[in-house]
Structure 1
Amino acid sequence: MANSAAQVKTKDGVPLGAAYWKLWISSGLSNLADGVFKIALPLMAIQLTQSPTLIAGLTVAATLPWLLFALTAGALADRLDRRKLMLWANLSRAVLPALLIAVILLDLGSIWALYVVALMVGVAETLYDTSAQSILPQVVNKDQLSRANGRLYAVELTANQFIGPPLGGLLIGIGVVAGFALPSALWLAAVGGLLLLPGSFRVEREQKTTLRFDIGEGLKFLWNQKILRTLALMTGILNFASSAAFAVLVLFAVGPASEMRLSEVGFGLLLTASAIGAFIGSFIAESVEAKLGRSKSLALTILGCALFVGGPALTSNPYVLGPILFVGGLLIVLWNVITVSLRQRIAPNRLLGRVNSAYRLLAWGTMPLGAAAGGLLAQWLGLQAMFGIMGTLTLALMVLMSILTDRAITAAEAA
């Protein structure tokens, strides 16, 4: 458990505490690195190939660890100090772009080198993200989780989607070395921020168990919680559709032969629209949740996400697509704040890492599958047809909203 100094009072409006803000700063630096890196990779990739399948394969490589390694990452987050896991994950992510720079300078760069680095960064991400979501209830109390998650999403999405993509596009325009040097330096700075976070964040264990037993316990808990199980399935379908769409969006948007005819910098600015929406959403999510209730808020999010994913099927005009991405970004944050806070309230701390990882196996493990499907459908049917299919799939999730009533959600929290 964390030291008592890391805890804060439960009364609404009381400051979240120094430990929380150190975590917040480190998270901002880490997500800025990720935002630059995730735009630098595909922009470098399209210099090597114009194949939708190969470009989508980059997203497959980056997200495959959530399918293969998520459960192990969750078990480790419940066995080891969560702060130290985050620290080592970021240190690994700092080294990998530096290695890629060396490969580029030696004129050995290829799409396969990008695949390897994307895969290894993805493995580190599973450890970091699982530990980061699991550590928060050790830093703030449960009645502050919606506010704490909202503020974290503000800095994460601002850095990851608002500042990172246009900055990454600008740096790749200058040179690929610049595009990968900055994220390496930022991940190192995030390591420094974590070193300032006081206390121990290892969960006390009553008995020694095997890793296999630990993973099974987390899976069993998630499966027996109908609300969490349904949300994991729905998030998995949302991520499948969005991963399919955004894995090949760069081909739809960038270059004189594309539908949108944007430059690399213009592409980064287009993605900024969703980040602005996400930034605003992170501050209003708590009040929207309170005013509409969680069930209506989640239903509204599905409608917005269907438009968010399917928008490019309707228009290639950046001045129309930009506002669509803005609304989608705002509503995606609303979904995330509600669902993450629910997991943190329902799952006991000793199981939280494993429940988070089991949830993400369903919720994020679909991303490489979606990216592969998006690349293949775009190759066979065309880009805009693929966007339309994924928007329709997202809209179909409204059928499952009959399970997610406010009464059922409240009962799950009480239990």
Structure 2
Amino acid sequence: MAFLISSIGDWLYRLALPIIILSKTGSAYHAATAFGVSFIPWIIFSLLGGSLADNYAKKKILIIGNFFAASAIPLLLFILMEKQINFVLLYSAVFVLSSVDPLIHPSFQSIIPEIIEDNHFAEANATIQTIDNTLSIMGPLIGGSLVTFLGDYNALWIDLISFLMTAVILTQLPSVKSKEIKISLAIKKLASDVLEGASYSFREKVIFSGSVMFLFTNFALNMFEANFIYYMTKSLNYPIFEATLAMSIGGIGSLIAGFGGSRIVNHFRAGILLSSSTIMAGLSTLLLLVSTNYIYIGIVLGIISFFGTINVITYFTLRQKTVPKRILGRVVSVTRMVSYASIPVGSWFGGVLLGHGQSMFTVILFAGIIRTLTGIGAKFSPLGKE
């Protein structure tokens, strides 16, 4: 329930922020850069988040994180409401708000083995993905409607409320006994924790190969995703409703994968699924070059999201089954840090191409080719042999 409420707020933020930037500046570059900046904290704070998850009560971390995120929204609103946006302040506010996720995500991922039995990991991950994917359908429509009728600034206020509601709901999580260490010891222990988590993640070739696969996948994906609102509303001149409807249609593919994900993951080798789904997602991306009809775009996005969701469920399940529970939080943070390192670069690169007169045709072509080649590379890596 907490994940559900929080995800609705995320959709409002994800839609409202680029719409406000585009309406005030018309700049695809600044909209894409703001999107990219939101992922930089994953590179900086992921290891710290992993150490926190392995040394402190995960429930407490999740609650405090959501309260902090709620307190950052007013700062962002104040900056956006200024007549002339100060982009240094804007990027700083986006950075602060986005810093919560990498600090609490390892706790979210690593709390699952504490409350779920081993033979139900795939089902648990599929359930979480189903919630996420249901919102991939409803989120854009709900978010687009609220942004349209209430205004983009009010949508951000609702996002603030969603963080507060999430924190309250999280208080109902079961409390798992954990041995917490003192802050002074935690600082000394952080270096060794980070070293141990990083050492395991880079030493285990299958886990590391998966991180590298997602590194290139995320670069390709976010070249397009960071510029989607610009593409639909500025390049193709669709109103926000048609743009969000295309996103909602795309979410159907993720929903289907979420429902059937556990069966697929349990019946095929992880290496085959991970490489094949990446290749198919890349080839499907190239289908966006054929037509600019918003219904067609939605259908293609659905195909891409189907393979992407199978990809995520497979890797999360593989990681939870193979990594020792005592360092799972740190391994989650290391692998997420590696895989997310390319998102700001991919977002920025897509914005630069558009800012220098290139069309979305070029962005989509690059994205599709890179993702396809990534899947082929994964097939011949240690991950592909798993």
Quick check: TM above 0.5?
A: yes
Matching residue within 218, 221, 224 for 1:242: 221
Q: How does 1:267-346 map to 2 (within 5 A)?
A: 267-346=243-322
Deviation at 1:41, TM superposition (A): 0.8
- The answer on whether the counterparts of 1:232 and 1:363 sit within 8 Å (CA) in structure 2 is yes
Deviations 1:159-192 (A, max 9, x none): 3x22222222222223123211211111111111
Structure 2: distance between partners of 1:310 and 1:89: 38
Deviation at 1:393, TM superposition (A): 0.6
- The answer on whether the counterparts of 1:281 and 1:330 sit within 8 Å (CA) in structure 2 is yes
What corresponds to 2:324 in structure 1?
A: 348
What corresponds to 1:223 in structure 2?
A: 202
Where structure 1 has 5 or more consecutive residues not aligned to the other structure, the ranges are 1-24, 410-415
Greater CA deviation, 294-303 or 367-376?
294-303
Taking a change above 3 Å as real, the CA distance of residues 45 and 225 of structure 1, as seen in their structure-2 partners, is same
Q: How does 1:174-189 map to 2 (within 5 A)?
A: 174=149, 175-189=151-165
Deviation at 1:109, TM superposition (A): 5.2
What corresponds to 2:30 in structure 1?
A: 54
Matched AA of 1:392: I
Deviation at 1:112, TM superposition (A): 4.6
- SS at 2:237's partner residue? coil
- The answer on whether the counterparts of 2:222 and 2:343 sit within 8 Å (CA) in structure 1 is yes
Matching residue within 307, 321, 334 for 1:358: 334
Deviation at 1:203, TM superposition (A): 5.9
Deviation at 1:138, TM superposition (A): 0.6
What corresponds to 1:390 in structure 2?
A: 367
- SS at 1:315's partner residue? coil
Structure 1: distance between partners of 2:177 and 2:140: 32
What corresponds to 2:138 in structure 1?
A: 163
Structure 1: distance between partners of 2:383 and 2:107: 29
What corresponds to 1:132 in structure 2?
A: 108
Deviation at 1:315, TM superposition (A): 2.6
Structure 2: distance between partners of 1:401 and 1:203: 41
- The answer on whether the counterparts of 1:56 and 1:248 sit within 8 Å (CA) in structure 2 is yes
Query: Percent of pairs identical after alignment?
Result: 21
- SS at 1:199's partner residue? coil
Where structure 2 has 5 or more consecutive residues not aligned to the other structure, the ranges are none
Q: How does 1:74-93 map to 2 (within 5 A)?
A: 74-93=50-69
Structure 2: distance between partners of 1:332 and 1:270: 17
Matching residue within 217, 238, 241 for 1:265: 241
- The answer on whether the counterparts of 2:66 and 2:167 sit within 8 Å (CA) in structure 1 is yes
Q: How many residues align?
A: 379
Matched AA of 1:166: L
TM-score normalised per structure 1: 0.85
- The answer on whether the counterparts of 2:9 and 2:160 sit within 8 Å (CA) in structure 1 is yes
Taking a change above 3 Å as real, the CA distance of residues 150 and 85 of structure 1, as seen in their structure-2 partners, is same
Deviations 1:344-371 (A, max 9, x none): 1111111111100110111112111111
Deviations 1:116-140 (A, max 9, x none): 3321221001122221111111110
- SS at 1:56's partner residue? helix
Matching residue within 189, 202, 214 for 1:210: 189
Taking a change above 3 Å as real, the CA distance of residues 263 and 307 of structure 1, as seen in their structure-2 partners, is farther
Taking a change above 3 Å as real, the CA distance of residues 48 and 298 of structure 1, as seen in their structure-2 partners, is same
Q: How does 1:58-73 map to 2 (within 5 A)?
A: 58-73=34-49
Taking a change above 3 Å as real, the CA distance of residues 111 and 162 of structure 1, as seen in their structure-2 partners, is farther
What corresponds to 2:127 in structure 1?
A: 151
Matched AA of 1:396: L
Structure 1: distance between partners of 2:338 and 2:189: 23
What corresponds to 1:97 in structure 2?
A: 73
- The answer on whether the counterparts of 1:78 and 1:203 sit within 8 Å (CA) in structure 2 is no
Taking a change above 3 Å as real, the CA distance of residues 308 and 117 of structure 1, as seen in their structure-2 partners, is farther
Matched AA of 2:359: G
Greater CA deviation, 223-232 or 272-281?
272-281
Deviation at 1:61, TM superposition (A): 1.3
Structure 1: distance between partners of 2:177 and 2:170: 12
Q: What RMSD, in angstroms, separates the aligned Cα atoms of the two structures?
A: 2.2
Structure 2: distance between partners of 1:112 and 1:262: 30
